[in-house]
Structure 1
Amino acid sequence: MPRRVAVIDLGSNSARMAIFERTSRLGFFILREYKIKVRLGEGAYENGGVLQDAAMDNVFCAFSEFKHFIKLYKVNKVLCAGTSALRDAPNSSVFINRIKNELGLGLKIIDGKMEAFYGGVAALNLLSPLSEATTIDIGGGSTELAKIKDGKIIDTISLNIGTVRLKELFFDKKDISGAAKFIDDMLSNLPNGFNSANIIAIGGSLRAISNAIMQIKKHPLKLVHNYSYELKEHSSFIEKLAFANVFDLKDFPVKKDRYDTIREGAMIFSKVAKRLGGKKIHTSGAGVREGIFLSNLLRPGIKFPQNFNPSLRSLQDRFIETSNPNTPKYAKILFDVLKPLHKLDDKYANELVIASKLYSLGRFLGFYSEHAHSSYIVQNGLNYGYTHEQKALISAIIFYQGKLISELGEFKELLPSIDEVRWLSFLLGLAKAVNISDEMEFSFVNHALHIKGIKNFFMVKESIKKLVKPSIFAITFD
C-alpha cells in the first residue's frame, strides 16, 4: 500500500477528507484532515431524492479543494466513497461522471451495510477492546449499526434515519412529534441481535454530544476519541438537547457549526441507544474514512495482529531513532521482582511497559525537558487503542520517571492513587537507568533489591541513588 493515502467520505451533510501516512507496514497516523459542509442532501428528501444543482456545485467545489491538497501533500492513492444521499439519488451517475471527467477522482457509492461495516472496522481496531458492542453511526441521510462480538463484525444494518433527512422532513416544519414517530417506526423492526450495553458512538453529531458532556464534566483530556460515559447519567441532557428550541442552543456547550443538525442527531441517538439497551457510551473519533483505509491496509483481513497498536508503532517509527529493548524488559522484570513490596495490580504492568517504550519520544527536540516533551506527545499522539485513563497514566509515568511527586495535577481524576503513580514512575526510572547491559539480574531479598551487572558503572549507580524511592528499602549493587 502507498505511503500516503487520502480517503474522501461524501455524506449527505459534509464532505470530509483524511490523509493517512504510513510509517511502516502497519503503523500510521493522520497527516491532515479536512471537512466542508456541502449539504449534498439539501432539498433532495422533498424531491424524490434528486440531487439539486446548487448542492452538487457545492460538492464539486469541495472536491476541487481536496484535489489541491492531494497534490500539495503528494498523496499516492485516493479512495472516494459516497453514502446515503448518493445512494438515494436517481441522478447520482450524472454527478459521479462529472467528478470523474473534470477532477479525475473515482467516486464510488457504498451501500448502507458496507458503510456500517467500515464503521465497525474502525471501532474494532482503533478503540480500546470491548468483548461486544454495537456501533451507532449517525449521518445526514442514514444511521448505520454494526454488531461487534469477540473481535468480529457479526451483523450490520442501515436505517434511513439521518439528521438532514429529519431536518427537512420534520424539524424545519416544527413537527417534532412527527420526527419522533418517524424514528420509532423505523426502529420497530430493528432485530434484537443488535442490542448491547456497550454503544460505540460514531459521527459528527455524536462527537459533538460527547464533547459537550466532556465540557460539563470538565474532563481533563481534550481528545474525544475513546471518551466514555454512562448513558443513564447524561440521558436527560441529550433529550433536552433534542427538544430544545433552536434559539436556546447557545445555552448548550455545542459549537455553532453544529446548530443546524445537533437536535436531530440527539433525538436519533437518544432513541436508538435506548432501543438497543445501551448503558455505556464509547465515543469513536474514527469512522468510515478510517474503516476504508484499514480495509485496504489490512487486507485480506480486517484486524491488526494481536498486541499490535498502530499509534504506538507510528510514534516509535517517527520519533525514536534507536529502540533499546532492554528498558521494557527490565521494567517488567522489576515490576515482578518488587511485587511483594509495591503490591500493584498486575494490569498496571501493561502501562509501565508502554511507557518504557515511549519515554524517549521527546529526545528529538533535545536533551532538556525530554520527559515533559515525551509526556505531551503521548497525550496527543497515542490516539488509538487506549482509554483516557491509560493514556493519562502512561503520560504521567513518563513525566515523573522516579522524581518527587507531591500532587498529580490536572489528570488526577483519571489516574490511580498517588502512591501507585510513584511506584510506576520509579520503576520506569530504574529500568531506564540499568538498560546499559543485556545481562542484568535482579532479586529482592531481606527487604533489599539486589542488582547484578553494574557494579563498575559509577554514573549509573549515582543516577539510581537520585531516584525518589516510593518506599523504604535498600538497593545493593552486586
Structure 2
Amino acid sequence: MAKRTAIIDLGSNGVRMAVFEKTSRYGFYILNEQKVKFRLAQGAYENNNILSEKQIKKAIEIIKYFKIQAKYLSCNKIFCVGTSALRDASNKDIFINALKKELKINIKTLSGENEAYLSGFGAINLLPKIEDAICLDIGGGSAELCLIQNSKVIQTFSLDLGTVRLKDLFKDKINKLEKFIDYSLENIPSNFKSTNLITIGGSLRAISSAIMEKNDYPLSQVHSFSYEFNKEIDFIEKIINCKNAELNSLGIKKERHDTIKVGALVFLKIAQKLKIQNIITSGAGVREGIYLKDLFGRHQNFPINFNPSLKSLEDRFLKIKTNSLIKNTKNLFMCLKDIHYVDDKYLFHLNYASRISELGLLLSFYSKHKHSSYFILNGLNFCIKHEDKAIISTIIEQHGKKINYENLKLKKLLPDENTISWLNFILAFCRALNKACENEICNFTYKNKTLYIEKNTNNFIIHEAIKKINKPKSFNIYINNEEI
C-alpha cells in the first residue's frame, strides 16, 4: 500500500482533502487536511439539478489545487469521490469527463447507500469500541444513516435532508421545512433502533464543539466527545431558534452560520424520532472510511486491541525499549492490590502510559513528562475515550509528584484521587527502577507493610530516584534486601 494517500471529497458544501501517512502495517495518522468552502450545486436544486458552467470550472480549479498539494506531499495514491451534489446532478457526465480530460483524475460518484456505509465504517473503526449504534452524517446535500450491530455496518439509508439543499429549497419557510423533514423521516426503516447515535459531519461537529465550550469541557478534540442527548435538547433548540447574530455567543463559528440552524433542526428531529439517549461525536467519516477500506484490503477491521494512533506514535517518536516497563508496571500493580484498592480496568491505562511515557524525549529531556503528556492529548486520537486519554496523560505529567487533585486541569474526566495517585506512583516507581536503562524485569513481593524487589541492577542512583517519588501510602521498600 502507498505510504501516503490523499482522499479528495467533493461534497455539497465544500471540497476537502485529507492526507494519511502509514507508519506500519496498520499504524497511521493524518498528515494534512485542507478544506475549501464551495457549493458545487449552488442554484442547481432550484434548476432541475443542473450544475452551472461556472461552478464546474471552480470545482476543477479546486481539485487541481488539491492534486498539486498531494503531489507536493509525495502522495502515491489519490482517491477522488463526489457525494450528493454530484450524484444528483443531471449533467454530472460533463464535469466527470472534464475532470478526467484536464487533470487525469477519475472521480467516483458515491451512491447515498455507499456514502452512508463509508461514513459509518470510518467512524466505527476509529471510535472507542461501540457494539450497537446508529450513525448519522448530515452533509450539504443529504443525510446518511447506517445501522451498527456488533460493531459492524449492517444496513444503510439516505435522505435528501442536506443543509444546503434544504436552505435553498425552503429559504425561511420554517413550517414547510419542518413538515418536509417530518414526512421524510417516516421513510426510516423501522429496525433502525438504538439508544446511541454517532454524529458525523460539519454541522454536528459544530454543535458538539459548542456544547463543549458551554460546559467548560477540559479537552478541545471533538472526536469521541459524548454527551447525554436529553441534557442538551434545550441548547440545540436555542441554536435553532436564535437570530443569526446570536450564534457567535453560542459558540458557533461564523463559517457555519448559514447552515447550522437547518442542520440542528434535522439532527434534533432525527434524534427524537429514534429516541436517542447518548450522542457520540465522530471526527471520522467518508474520507477515513475510504482510507481504511484500502488499508485493510481483504480484512474488515483492525486486529483485536489494536490502536492505530498508539502504534503511529510509537513508530514515529519512540526510540527506546519499553517492554520491561510495561511488564513491571503490571506486576507491581498486581503485587500491591491489597493496599491500593484500584480496579483492574486501570491496567489498560498503565499499559498505554508505559508504552509511550518517553515520547517527550524527542523534543527535549527537560520537562519530558510534560512533552509526553502533550503528545498524548494531541496525538492519541483514535479508538480511545477522552476519559482514558486524560488518565494516561495525567499520570505521565505528574511524574511521581504529590498530586494536588483539586487543581488537576483534566479533573472533570478523571477517576477518584486514590486511583490517580496510585497509578501515578506505580508508573513513576517503575520508571525509576529502570533508571540505568537496563530494560530489566523485576520480581515484586509485598508482605508485612514492605515491598521487596529483586533486580540485577541496584545502585544509589536508583535509590535516590525512588526517594523522590511520593507514596500514596506508607510502606517500606527493599531492593535485594537493601532498605531504601
TM-score interval (norm. to shorter): over 0.9
Trace 1:243-258 onto structure 2 (pairs within 5 A).
Answer: 243-258=241-256
How many Å apart are 1:322 and its aligned residue? 2.7
Question: Residue 268 of structure 1 corresponds to which residue in structure 2?
Answer: 266
In the TM superposition, 1:137-176 aligns within 5 A as 137-170=137-170, 172=171, 174-176=172-174
- Paired residue secondary structure (1:410): coil
Give the aligned partner of residue 426 of structure 1: 425
Shift of 1:135: 0.6
The residue type equivalent to 1:365 in the other structure is L
The residue type equivalent to 1:355 in the other structure is: A
CA distance in 2, matches of 1:150, 1:444: 42
1:396-475 residue pairs with structure 2 within 5 A?
Answer: 396-407=394-405, 408-435=407-434, 436-454=438-456, 456-475=458-477
Check conservation: 2:325, 2:439, Cα contact below 8 A. no
CA distance in 2 between partners of 1:323 and 1:454 (Å): 18
Aligned-partner Cα distance in 2 for 1:374–1:443: 30
* Cα contact 1:198–1:280 (8 A) shared by 2: yes
Alignment partner, residue 288 of structure 1: 286
Matched residues in 1 for 2:343 and 2:169: separation? 54
Report the Cα distance in structure 1 between the residues aligned to 2:291 and 2:458, rounded to whole angstroms.
52
CA distance in structure 2 between the partners assigned to 1:302 and 1:420 by the alignment: 36
TM-score where L is the length of structure 2: 0.96
Say whether the 8 Å CA contact 1:112–1:157 is kept in structure 2. Answer: yes
Whether the aligned pair in 1 keeps the contact of 2:223 and 2:284 (CA below 8 Å) is yes
Counterpart Cα distance in 2 of 1:256 and 1:366: 38
Whether the aligned pair in 1 keeps the contact of 2:123 and 2:283 (CA below 8 Å) is: no
| Alignment equivalent of 1:476, drawn from 461, 478, 482 | 478
Q: Indicate how the Cα distance of structure 1 residues 87 and 477 shifts in structure 2: closer, same or farther if over 3 A, else same.
A: same
Structure 1 residues 351 and 101, CA gap change in structure 2 (3 angstroms): same
More off after superposition, 463-472 vs 226-235: 463-472
* Cα contact 1:455–1:477 (8 A) shared by 2: no
Q: CA deviation at 1:366?
A: 2.2
Q: Give the letter aligned to residue 423 of structure 1.
A: W
Residue equivalent to 1:197:
195
1:141-196 alpha-carbon deviations (Å, 9 max, x no partner): 111111111121111111111101110011x2x21111111111111121122121
**1:390-417 deviation line (CA, Å, top 9, x unaligned):** 1111100110121121234221111112
1:91-110 mapped onto 2 (5 Å cutoff): 91-110=91-110
**C-alpha distance in structure 1 between counterparts of 2:181 and 2:237, whole Å:** 14
TM-score (norm 1): 0.97
Query: Structure 1 pair 336/15, CA: closer, same or farther in 2 (3 Å)?
Result: same
CA distance in 2, matches of 1:249, 1:106: 39
Q: Distance in 1 between the 2:374 and 2:250 partners?
A: 30
Alignment of 1:40-439 (within 5 A): 40-170=40-170, 172=171, 174-407=172-405, 408-435=407-434, 436-439=438-441
Change (3 A) 1:359 1:310: same
The answer (yes or no) to whether the contact 1:80–1:105 under 8 Å persists in 2 is yes
Query: What displacement does 1:434 show?
Result: 2.5
SS for the counterpart of 1:192 is: coil
Question: Counterpart of 2:6 in structure 1: which amino acid?
Answer: A
Q: Report the Cα distance in structure 2 between the residues aligned to 1:244 and 1:181, rounded to whole angstroms.
A: 20
**Could you tell me how far apart the structure 2 residues matched to 1:216 and 1:247 are?**
18
- Structure 2 residue matching 1:194: 3-state secondary structure: coil
Q: 2:242 is matched by which residue type in structure 1?
A: A
Q: Which runs of 5+ in 2 are unaligned?
A: none
The unaligned stretches of length 5 or more in structure 1 are none
1:423-477 superposed Cα distances (whole Å, 9 cap, x missing partner): 1011101122234354421111112111011463332232122211111111111
Aligned length, in residue pairs: 476
The answer to whether the 8 Å contact 1:38/1:62 transfers is no
State how far apart, in whole Å, the 1-side matches of 2:191 and 2:475 are: 55
Contact 1:454 1:461 in 2 (8 A): no
CA 1:15/1:439 → structure 2, altered by over 3 Å: closer, same or farther?
closer
Q: Is the 8 A contact 2:444 2:453 kept in 1?
A: yes
Report the AA paired with residue 180 of structure 1. Answer: E
Decide whether the 8 Å contact of 1:18 with 1:30 is kept in 2.
yes
Q: Secondary structure of the residue that 2:133 maps to in structure 1?
A: strand
Partner Cα distance (1:16, 1:134) in 2? 25
- Structure 1 window deviating more from structure 2 (137-146 vs 454-463): it is 454-463
C-alpha distance in 2 between matches for 1:115 and 1:15: 15
Deviations 1:46-67 (A, max 9, x none): 1121112222222122112212
CA distance in 2 between counterparts of 1:277 and 1:102 reads 49
Q: Secondary structure at the match of 1:193?
A: coil
Shift of 1:245: 3.2
Return the letter of the residue paired with 2:328. Y
Q: Is the 8 A contact 1:249 1:259 kept in 2?
A: yes
Q: Partner amino acid for 1:413? A: K
